[in-house]
Structure 1
Amino acid sequence: MKPRLILVTLLSFFLANSQAPAGYYNTATGSGYTLKTQLHKIISKHKDLGYGGLWQTYKTSDIDDFYEKDQSVLDMYSENPRGKDPYIFKMGSNQCGIYSAEGDCYNREHIIPQSVFNSAAPMVSDAHFIPPTDGKVNGKRSNFPHGNVASAKWTSENGSKLGSSAINGYKGIVFEPINEFKGDIARMYFYFATCYENKVAGYNYDMFNGTNHQVFTEAFKNMLLQWHKMDPVSEREKKRNNAIYKRQGNRNPFIDHPEFVEKIWGKASVVKTNTSKKTTINQTNTKSIQKTKTSPPIIATPNNTTGNVYFSAYIEGSGNNKALIITNGTSKSIDLGNYTIKKQTNGKGGWSNGLKVKSKLAPNQSLIILHPKSQLNCSYSNSLRLESTELEFNGNDPIGLFLNDKLIDCLGTFNDAKIFSENETLKRKKSNAIPSTNFNKSNWEILPINTCK
């Protein structure tokens, strides 16, 4: 081959396999949710090609050049990566349509269901999280979250499953794809959370926590982080990202830079995940995730003779109506700088890093700390609205009050996943106005949901 021809061939290869254009991520310099917002500004302004435009996009983004290499539709819900596919779809010819069984036709699968955002544009036609899939399997998945299945009640021909959840903290029905594509799907979720950061806090979905920063509940965040780790970015994803970029004008940054995921959301709080990608028809080999072993917290003994600082109320209301009230029961002013509020998600794993409250409390004064989007009608003069995971609690998330990293008061019981207070307000009885690391609900008055007086 002549040198010039070699150069042209190599240039063509690198262009075909290129990632983001030079400078595309120049402004993505931060970490945590700052980085997420920087990425949002880069990728959110893209072309809306319409719902019908997805069919055209699929002709370049979802061709099987990687398994059978037969130019058929590459469908995550029917592809068998280690053998013959149970059926194939010819691109453009087998679009749904009406279906009654697997293999009838393929349609457009919204990884985040349309109902979550009321089929609004541009989400409804964004190919980055809408791949082509078998119509029947798509229908079976319905609007259920993606997750790990404990007991399958239905299994597709390639081993995708619908059944009860094996996710700690979620008891509903979930849909589990085969291992080969779990990372692909996780990165679609991370893309959606980033691209639509300015909208997602208003979306109601079991996987979402009502915020625009973390976006996902702790349980689903950890699962997605596991899937991202166990199934790294593939050449197929890179090609798909490039093809969609040519059509829409934006990219999935978590395909170009997989390291951005942990820079934003951290690492999953689990010990091990199954990293095998071996999959056969009607069978997946996902192993049960080992539970993280946790040690009981160090406990400080309250000084009951002089009074103490303690939780005096806990509000687990509707939506974002979450609040905690801390009371200074001593005879001296207290600087809360030495105190930390920590959460144990779903009664499993370790305590969170903690929320430090910069405030001072006079003797017998209380401070109410509210979720930033709370709509509670409260009349406390001393109040704070803080954006923190510790204020995104549900009824089975133990909450601890720590003094110099020693637990002094606890709502719920550490390492107990049972619901201790849901859709109600707990007000500490005056007869038990002292901190306690042993939660006893009989020491609390139970008031109606969203009570804040």
Structure 2
Amino acid sequence: MKKIYTIFSILSVVVGFAQIPAGYYNTATGTGYTLKTQLKKIIDDVNDGIPSEHLAIDRTYAGLYVTYTTSDIDLYYENNGTMLDMYTENPTGPDNCEYTYGVNQDDGTGGTSECQKYNREHIIPQSVFSAATPMYSDAHFVVPSDKYVNAQRGDFPFGRTAAPTNTYSNGSRRGPNLNSGYSAGYSGTIFEPINEFKGDIARMILYFATRYEDNVASWSYPMFNGTSTQVFTNTHLEILKQWHLLDPVSQREIDRNNAIFARQNNRNPFIDHPEWVEVIWGPTLGTDSFEATANISIYPNPTSNNLINISSDVELNEIELISINGQIVQKISRPNSIQNVYRLENLPQGFYFVKLSSADNQTVTKKILVN
């Protein structure tokens, strides 16, 4: 599961963020799509005349396996140094599949069921960009994966399903997109990762849209709308923004970003600065059915006395307080309420997201301001 950050672990996160080179984001000063273009110039392989510019390096498709030995090692769940695969990793118990780099690597055979071979998964399918470089070998969105589940995902876009036709060992699944709530507007077949990695995948896709801004309008894919600005259809943009909020940046992502930077010389800005997702693409709609059914309200908001009240007609199973940088500041499981009102006290000043979860895993995220 995502780690709960105490004041001490927050300090360790700051140390992780400190690996961003001095001045790396100095030219990221705009808002909206202007900021996205500024970030594209920072992370691409073109000399844009930016002070202290770092040009991205293509380490080749074969070189991905070298990158993975530092970027995708399980030091977070089993913590045993095996390959970390988002499609088979079980964050709450033993994994069904365990891979060691250099062993059972895809050699053109096997892959007829889980746990036989591992290979490289393009989160945005390589068919979208005709397997052209540097996209083909960009480790920020090309990840190690079980070969079988990779093939099962195929070229399907990401989404959420209430009626899966296929479910895999860690709970990832494939099926028709749930055409309601925040995923309303698309009914085709989708692939849904488990909750633990939805934010990871969303931030990889948002990186792709930014890094390849000059090309993406010419590529056809169900998640894309044919523009270089918004890039995504309204439905898929809302899915990505919701997943970005519901699954905040983890230490694993920070470490992965640093490891890829050491090899590839560019970074995923939405891991370093999660708040930029909203600055560029706007806030989430927050229209999922749970919010209406639970009749949720948060007050006072803004608050000036370091506390908020949360009113909900549905019993809450978990409350998470998330910083603007995407870090979990406080997590309360099975919180106590008085007449359906929950209280958070001693809140430090700042802007936060409050994620509320019910017993049946429905969630809603609200914004609060503590003056």
Same fold, TM-score > 0.5, yes or no: yes
Corresponding residue to 1:146 among 131, 147, 158: 158
Q: Aligned in 2, Cα 1:83/1:119: closer, same or farther, shift over 3 Å?
A: same
Matched with 2:29 is: 29
C-alpha contact (below 8 Å) 2:99/2:118 kept by paired residues: yes
Q: Is the contact made by 1:244 and 1:251 (CA closer than 8 Å) also made in structure 2?
A: yes
2:85 maps to 75
Distance 2:262 2:268 in 1: 12
| Structure 1 residue 55 corresponds to structure 2 residue 65 | yes
Tell me the equivalent position of 2:203.
187
Match for 1:131: what amino acid? V
Aligned to 1:223: 239
Give the stretch that moved more between structures: 22-31 or 87-96.
87-96
Conserved 8 A contact 1:273-1:289: no
State the AA in 1 paired with 2:197.
Answer: F
Q: 2:132 — aligned with what?
A: 120
Aligned-partner residue type, residue 41 of structure 1:
K
Q: Map of 1:35-434 to 2, 5 A cutoff?
A: 35-45=35-45, 46-97=56-107, 98=109, 99-166=111-178, 167-272=183-288, 287=361
Structure 1 letter corresponding to 2:217: A
CA distance in 1 between counterparts of 2:14 and 2:273 reads: 18
Tell me the CA shift for residue 238 of structure 1.
Answer: 0.3
**How many Å separate the matches in 2 of 1:189 and 1:242?**
18
Change (3 A) 1:13 1:238: closer
Q: Deviations over 1:123-163 (max 9, x none)?
A: 00000001101111000000000111121000000000000
Give the counterpart letter for 2:229 in structure 1: H
Higher RCO by CA contacts (8 Å cutoff, separation 6 or greater): 2
- 2-structure distance, mates of 1:276, 1:173: 32
Q: Structure 1 165/288 Cα, relative in aligned 2: closer, same or farther at 3 Å?
A: farther
Query: What is the deviation of 1:54?
Result: 0.4
| Alpha carbons of structure 1 residues 63 and 78: separation in structure 2 relative to 1, 3 Å | same
**Structure 1 residue 94, shift from structure 2 partner:** 2.1
Q: Percent identity?
A: 55
For 2:232 and 2:83, the matched residues in 1 are separated by: 30
| Contact 2:106-2:117 within 8 A present in 1 as well | yes
> What TM-score does the superposition give when structure 1 sets the normalisation length?
0.58
SS in 2 for 1:152: coil
- Residues 216 and 228 of structure 2 are in contact (CA less than 8 Å); yes or no, is this contact kept in structure 1? yes
Instruction: Say if 1:17 and 1:25 are closer, same or farther in 2 by CA, change over 3 A.
Output: closer
| Segment drifting more, 169-178 vs 267-276 | 267-276
Distance in 2, matches of 1:269 and 1:100, equals 40
Deviation at 1:28, TM superposition (A): 0.2
RMSD, aligned CA = 2.2
Q: Kindly state the Cα deviation for residue 286 of structure 1 after the two structures are TM-superposed.
A: 8.0
- The letter for the 1-side match of 2:114 is E
The separation in 2 between residues aligned to 1:115 and 1:57, in whole angstroms, is: 22
Structure with bigger gyration radius: 1
* SS of aligned partner of 2:176: strand
Task: State the shift of 1:188 in Å.
Answer: 0.4
CA distance in 1, matches of 2:118, 2:319: 28
Q: CA deviation at 1:86?
A: 1.0
Paired residues of 1:17 and 1:238 also in contact (CA < 8 A): yes
Unaligned runs of 5+ in 1: 1-11, 278-284, 291-453
| 4+ residue runs over 4 A deviation | 12-17, 272-277, 285-290
2:186 aligned counterpart, secondary structure: coil
Contact residue 260 and residue 266 of structure 2 kept, 8 A: yes
For residues 64 and 253 of structure 2, the distance between their equivalents in structure 1, rounded to whole angstroms, comes to 17
Q: What is the alpha-carbon distance in structure 1 between the residues aligned to residue 276 and residue 13 of structure 2?
A: 26
> Any conservation in 1 of the 2:176–2:187 contact (CA below 8 Å)?
yes
> CA offsets per residue over residues 404-447 of structure 1, 9 Å max, x none?
xxxxxxxxxxxxxxxxxxxxxxxxxxxxxxxxxxxxxxxxxxxx
Task: Quote how far apart the aligned CAs of 1:52 are.
Answer: 0.5
